Chain A
Amino acid sequence: MDADAELFKAIGDATRRTILDELTEKDGQTLFEICSRLTMKHGLGSSRQAISQHLAVLEQAGLVRTRRQGRYKFHHLDTSPLRSIVERWPIDREAPNP
């Protein structure tokens, strides 16, 4: 899959977008914290395995990076791949006339 396809696939899923929202609020979370937030704040019933797979898709697209610190693993947000979208379809500074 090319990079575009991976990026759009990654942000094309509501659960993955919610993961990005939560990492925007608090960067650097364990899998457990991400699962807790999705369950408790958003009422999502996804299994830990499913969330782990969502994180793998986000990581493949470059939107999430993992960092090992000692025995723990933290997930960090990286929005830089999204730049390719506005570079490809630039947003005018002024809103278009109606």
Chain B
Amino acid sequence: MIRVSITSVFVDDQAKALAFYTEKLGFTKKTDQPAGEFRWLTVVSPADPDGVELLLEPDAHPAARPFKEALVADGIPFTQFTVDDVHAEVERLKGLGVEFTQEATDLGPVVTAVLDDTCGNLIQLAALKE
């Protein structure tokens, strides 16, 4: 059966990305293997260590950065993560110096916020209301 085990985010610097995604967002490192001039570098949620891995993929391809910059200019998060409480997570991350382009916003069935991952991406945090 086909299933999702890895998804990717394009980052401008893998070491910086690993620090942000683990120390700020709270993921844990899962795999770190040399792969050519870069690393095969994945993180997972501590709530689901055998679950979907997030691959911190270098954005070295010439098409990747213009793509990312165009999305960021319009405030578009290409990647989103689920949290239990968006308001609480925004407060926690702001305390760690994380920058948001959208505060916690009640959109009816879902609460969302959008942060800058410092690696060239905007990330949406979302919590579905019960």
- Which A positions have Cβ atoms within 8 angstroms of B? 26, 29-33, 36-37, 40-41, 48, 71-74
Contact = CB atoms under 8 A, between A and B. Distances in A.
Which residue, B101, B107, B108, has most C-beta atoms of chain A within 10 A?
A: B101
Interface string B68-95: 0100111111000000000000000000
Contact of B74 (A31, A40, A41): A31
Contacts of A72: 72-73, 75, 101
12 contacts: A26-B105, A30-B76, A30-B101, A31-B76, A32-B75, A32-B76, A32-B77, A32-B122, A36-B105, A40-B107, A40-B108, A74-B101
Q: Which 6 A-B pairs have the closest CB atoms?
A: A30-B75, A32-B75, A40-B107, A31-B74, A32-B76, A33-B102
A32 B107 contact: no
B116 to A, nearest CB: 8
A30 B112 contact: no
A71 B108 contact: no
A73 B69 CA distance: 12
Contacts, number: 49
B74 A29 contact: no
B interface: dominant SS? mixed
Contacts of B109: 40
A43 B76 CA distance: 19
Interface in B90-130: 101-103, 105, 107-110, 112, 114, 122
Nearest to B71: A32
B105 A73 contact: no
Contact of B69 (A33, A40, A41, A71): A71
B112 A36 contact: yes
Contacts of A37: 105, 107
Contact of B114 (A26, A30, A41, A71): A30
A26 B85 CA distance: 20
A73 B103 CA distance: 15
Nearest to A33: B102
A30 B75 CA distance: 5
